Structure 1
């Protein structure tokens, strides 16, 4: 018999955080997320999505009061779909299909009572850049903010009836791998142009780089027809938050007569430091973080954004920028691999850009969907 507890009191909140580390204690690739990051998602004062949605957390226990699984279930008006669709996330479960089915049934009933006709998972009660998707290939250490799970989770979802709504592809390449010949050719070509220059991002000039980032981003993404515009004030605020972890050798901007025309933004993978903190980030852990950051080599960096303004696209400028930056960071950093944040398989334009950067898919996640009406035709995410 399985009992259900809605997460309300401090003991239940603590168990929601402590169950995964016990479950994964023998998995060398598991990195515990920071408790504060998880708790912020379920705090209405910190998560703006509570203004337009609802979210509850549940623990599932056996008759001996031992936790067997956990989940969060939510609805979000900012997640419009063809049919009203809710979400489940932060799912963890023992390797038992009956237990997983019990959890999924509980989520289904909760969502049906809210008028939903389908559920997606595992997803975040928030933006897609964190805690989104189920790992199906590449069970290596997760990047900061990325989900991680046992391989058997795939069977738990699919045996219940979930189907892949879209796949999330993570592209990567070794820093010291041979660079495409076309990159070096384009580098040689553009290096001869005195109006073209490349500069690494520095902490002293965050205001300038925030302005340059905004200009490049808005022009580049406008050409992709996605209508995504970013505000310079918000970009500067984000840069200032990132300042303690910015590495001045790995983010690059290209200019034509000092006008920004391309960028390649990377940061260190902070999970390579956070993995020593066991999910905590109090005063002692902050001091330990500073020590680890100073003395432990971080060999993995994360690609955040790559962009070229429309008038310079398809002219090999990315080859110039990649080789210019790569030569520099090989000399001045310990990084051995770079991995990009995931790209949905519904976005062929961005996938093509990633492939053109001489990368390969090294990790896959999946966003699953379950239609409550089992006779309704299942459709995958539309292609952009």
Structure 2
């Protein structure tokens, strides 16, 4: 068996083709978009290459690709760790420990040579909302857009190699027609009695204004957390620009107090309910299929991608009011039957408590694993 660094266009093609072999008999698998994956490895599109580096490999046996992996050195990510920590991701392997361990060996050797003392994985050379974690529970439901999905036997590979769970990532799902918990009902009533409080979707508002409101809430919600970096307007505008092709203005919700934005609940349609038709490639044909299914409003699931409340309004029932607004205004449209909250780490018990009060099903668990190179620790 050979391990080949991905360098040529044929290598890149093989990198993307391998999952189609691994999941050939899996009816719920939806491939990641090739374009999304390639952005990660393109220095002109991924700013982490300014101070970091990435490399990826293919495992080839008798002329046939049987595995793949990538490894990353992300200076920003490593700074927050107890020891210099690299990352690995985009791991795929046939059900053969020899192949899997050879890929892990190669990635770890490269990380060691670049000054790392540990590795987290599977993770992304980018933000945590994409390509993050190893699925360890529920292999029967389709994955959400950007979420990792893998065969169950990958758990055994990582555990036997010596990886340990760093943190769990819980995904929740709930039918929209299920009434909210009575606690939410009471808190919502109290909040709505304040004439200064208002809540509405973004229909009729420009995305430029929405970006400004998003920026205000984001900085006031997460400001003060360790390692927090204040968001700038151009970053908020970039987020809105990225959301523009997929946004449904009826399910992006903001709360205001005295006309100042104090909270948001940003949902989008479940894109994998469209991308399951494009075969992992958003080329011209894939784009036509995307536009068709967007026009048809094919997705019946909405995905909560971010939920934030100004710290000054914590504990006042704002989250309850947003949830109640969704029940009264989104459910009657009958466009969506389910809502999914993308992963929440077990390091965030407060958010887990809020979400679980809604009565959802914890329908999928992923985990981020850690491996220390010094095996005596």
The answer to whether TM tops 0.5 is yes
**Higher mean C-alpha deviation, range 198-207 or range 289-298:** 198-207
User: Are positions 1:70 and 2:68 aligned together?
Assistant: yes
In 1: Cα distance, 2:82 partner to 2:114 partner: 16
**Corresponding residue number in structure 2 for 1:207:** 208
Q: Aligned equivalents of 1:309 and 1:357: distance in 2?
A: 21
Deviation at 1:224, TM superposition (A): 5.3
Alignment-derived partner of residue 93 in structure 1: 93
- Structure 1 window deviating more from structure 2 (349-358 vs 275-284): it is 349-358
- Aligned pairs, how many? 374
User: In the aligned structure 1, how far is the partner of 2:315 from the partner of 2:72?
Assistant: 43
Structure 1 residue 356 displacement after superposition = 4.3
TM-score (normalizing by structure 2): 0.93
Q: Give the CA RMSD over aligned residues.
A: 1.9
Please state how far the C-alpha of 1:230 moved relative to its aligned partner.
1.8
> Any stretches of 5+ residues in structure 1 without a counterpart?
377-384
Q: Deviations over 1:91-111 (max 9, x none)?
A: 000111122112112222222
| Alignment CA distance shift 1:296-1:137 (3 Å) | same
Is the contact made by 2:274 and 2:298 (CA closer than 8 Å) also made in structure 1?
Answer: no
* SS state at 1:244 partner: coil
Kept in 1, the 8 Å contact 2:124–2:132? The answer is yes
Aligned to 1:382: none
In structure 2, stretches of 5+ residues that fail to align are none
Tell me by how many angstroms 1:312 deviates. 2.6
Q: Residue 115 of structure 1 aligns to a residue in which SS?
A: coil
Residue 255 of structure 1 deviates from its aligned partner by 2.0
Alpha-carbon distance change, 112 to 222 in structure 1, aligned in 2, over 3 angstroms: closer
**1:1-384 matched pairs, under 5 angstroms:** 2-62=1-61, 64-80=62-78, 81-139=81-139, 140-202=141-203, 204-222=205-223, 227-295=228-296, 297-376=298-377
Shift of 1:219: 1.5
The 3 A distance-change label for structure 1 pair 311 and 56 is closer
Task: Show CA shifts across 1:66-124 (max 9, x none).
Answer: 11111112222222222222221100001111221121122222222223222221111
CA distance in 1, matches of 2:191, 2:82: 47
| Structure 2 CA distance for partners of 1:212 and 1:94, relative to 1, 3 Å | same
Q: Report the CA distance shift for 1:182/1:148 in structure 2 as closer, same or farther (over 3 A).
A: same
Distance in 2 between residues matched to 1:182 and 1:226, nearest whole Å: 33
* Alpha-carbon offset, residue 138 of structure 1: 2.5
CA distance in structure 1 between the aligned counterparts of 2:66 and 2:262, rounded to whole angstroms: 52
User: Which shifted more, 210-219 or 367-376?
Assistant: 210-219
CA contact (8 A) 1:124 1:130 kept: yes
Q: Does the C-alpha gap of structure 1 residues 233 and 76 become closer, same or farther in structure 2, counting only changes over 3 Å?
A: closer
TM-score relative to the length of structure 1:
0.92
3-state SS of the aligned residue for 1:165? strand
My pick for the range that moved more, 28-37 or 233-242, is: 233-242
Q: CA 1:308–1:56 in 2, change beyond 3 Å: closer, same or farther?
A: closer
> Structure 1's 238 and 333: CA in aligned 2 closer, same or farther, altered over 3 A?
farther
Taking structure 1 as reference, are residues 93 and 346 closer, same or farther at Cα in structure 2, changes over 3 Å only?
same
Compared with structure 1, are the counterparts of its residues 228 and 49 closer, same or farther at alpha carbon in structure 2 (3 Å cutoff)?
closer
